[in-house]
Amino acid sequence: MSKLWGGRFTKQTDQLVEEYTASITFDKELAEEDVRGSLAHVSMLGKQGILPAEDVETIKGGLKRVLERIRKGELEYSVSDEDIHMNIEKALIEDIGPVGGKLHTGRSRNDQVATDMHLYLRTRVVEFVGLLRSLQEALIGQAQENLDTIVPGYTHLQRAQPILFAHHLMAYVSMFGRDIERLQDSYKRIDTLPLGAGALAGTTFPIDRHFVAEQLGFGRVYENSLDAVSDRDFILEFLSHASIVMMHLSRLSEELILWSSTEFRFVELDDAFCTGSSIMPQKKNPDVPELVRGKTGRVYGNLVGLLTVLKSLPLAYNKDMQEDKEGMFDTVKTMSGALRLFAPMIATMKVNKGQMREAVNKDFSNATDIADFLVGKGLPFRQAHEVIGKTVLYCIENDKFLLDLTLEEFKGFSELFDERIYEVLQPETVVNARNVYGGTARPQVEAAIGRASQALESVAAWVEEHTQGDV
C-alpha cells in the first residue's frame, strides 16, 4: 500500500528523507494512547451520525485487534508509514479493509498527536506522584528510627548546630512534598483535550468534543483550536518539575555519597545498592546516588532542549514539534528509574548512630547556645558572640572542646558563667532548645512526622482517584 497522504505526490519520498522525518522508532511508545484516543473519536463519530453504527463497530473491533498485536509485539512497524498514527491506521485498513479509512474523519494528526501526549503524560504524572510518595514513606520510616540520633547540622559544609538526623531527613520529605504538589497542579492542564481542533482551525463535521473528553476522562477541552495543536506547555511543565525532582535527588545523592565515605561513616548503603571495584578489593562504591547525580544533567538538558525547540515557532503545528518526544520519554525513564531505586535504598540504609554521636561530641556546634546562655544573663548578643569566639579559639589552641573546659576556664572568659553551662552544652539540650514550629527539638520533629504521615494518606487517595483504567 502506498502512503496514506500520497494522492498529491507524483514521486516517491527520498529514502533518506523518509528515515530522517519518521518518528515511529520512538513514538511507538504512544501506541496504547493512540488506540485509546481513536476508540473515543470513532464512538463520537457514531453518536453524531457522522459514521453509520456498523462502520463504527467494525473500526472498533479492528483497532482492538491491532492493539492486541502491538501488545504481543506482533505488529511490524514501517518507517515509510512515518509515525505511530499512520502505522496503526495502515494496520487497521489492512485488517478491516477500506472502511478503516473512515477513522480519520474530522481529525488531523496534529490534534491526534497532541491528544496522545496528553494521555501519556496524564498517566505518568499520577505514577510519579505515587513514586515520590513511596520515597517520602521510606524517609519518614528512617526518621522515625532516628528521633534520638543527633548529627552535626552544616552550613558551608562546616559544622553549625547539632540537629536530629530525623529532622535532616524530614527536610527531604518537605522537598518531595513540594514536587508532589507541583505535579498535582500540572495535572489539570494535562487533563485538557486537544482533539477536535483538527489541523488547526476546527472541522466542518458536526463533532462533539465534550463527548470525546468524557470518554477519555478529560476534565476540560482546549478553548482555542490553534492553541490546542500548538501547545506543548504541559510537557515543558513536566520537564521543569522533573528537573526539580532530579535536583532534589541529586542533593540527597551528594549527601549519601559524603555520608558513606570513610571520612564521615554516618551511613552505610545496603550491598544490594552498591558495586565493587575491579581492582581495589576493599571498595564499596555508592554507584546509585552517583548515577542519579550524574543523570540529573540529561533531565535538565531535555528541558532546555524543548524550550529551545519551541522558542520562535509560529502557530500552529510545525514539524519541529515532533522533537518534543524523545526528551520526554528519556526524562520519564530516567526519573522513574531513580525514584524506584531510591525508596528501597533509603529504607535499607544503615545509620551509624555511634559515629554520628562521636562527630557531635567533637565539634563546636553547641557554641551558639553558650552565647544564648550569656544573653539570658543580660549580656548583649554581640558581646556574647565575641566572648564565645575567644573561648572557641582557646579550645582550638589547647586541643579541647567546650565541654572539656573547667568552670574556672569558662569564668576566665566571662564572670557570668556558672555550672549550669554543662547542661546547656549537652547536645540533647541544644537540640531540644530549638522548640519552635519547624525546629529540630524532638517534639517538633515528632509533630512534623505526624503531619507528613497524614499527607501520605491524602496523596495515596489522590493517586487512587486519578488512576485511569485500561483501554
Q: Which residue has the cell 548583649?
A: 380
Q: Map residue 1 onto helix, strand or coil.
A: coil
| CB of residue 324 to ligand ARG, shortest distance in Å | 7
| CB of residue 269 to ligand ARG, shortest distance in Å | 41
- First vs last C-alpha separation in the chain: 28
Measured between alpha carbons, how far is 34 from 21 in angstroms, rounded to an integer? 19
Task: Assess contact for 338 and 249: CB atoms under 8 A.
Answer: yes
| CB of residue 322 to ligand ARG, shortest distance in Å | 4
Closer residue to ligand ARG (CB): 27 or 363: 27
Closer residue to ligand ARG (CB): 323 or 372: 323
| CB of residue 119 to ligand ARG, shortest distance in Å | 14
Measured between alpha carbons, how far is 407 from 421 in angstroms, rounded to an integer? 9
Q: Could you tell me how many helices (H) and strands (E) the chain has, helices first?
A: 19, 6
Measured between alpha carbons, how far is 387 from 414 in angstroms, rounded to an integer? 7
C-alpha cell, 377: 544573663
Residue ranges in contact with ligand ARG by CB under 6 A: 23, 27, 83, 109-110, 113, 317, 319, 321-322
Closer residue to ligand ARG (CB): 91 or 143: 91
Closer residue to ligand ARG (CB): 120 or 373: 120
380 Cβ neighbours under 8 A, 6+ residues apart: none
Closer residue to ligand ARG (CB): 193 or 252: 193
Helix axis angle for 109-145 and 233-259, nearest 10°, is 30
**Which H/E stretch holds residue 234?**
helix 233-259
Q: Give the phi and the psi of residue 40 in degrees, each rounded to 5.
A: -70, -40
Q: What is the DSSP letter of 398?
A: T
Q: Return the active site residues.
A: 156, 277
Closer residue to ligand ARG (CB): 23 or 134: 23
| CB of residue 23 to ligand ARG, shortest distance in Å | 4
| CB of residue 44 to ligand ARG, shortest distance in Å | 20
Exposed / middle / buried, residue 56 (Cβ in 10 Å: 0-12, 13-18, 19+): buried
C-alpha cell, 461: 487517595
Q: Map residue 319 onto helix, strand or coil.
A: helix
Task: Assess contact for 26 and 67: CB atoms under 8 A.
Answer: no
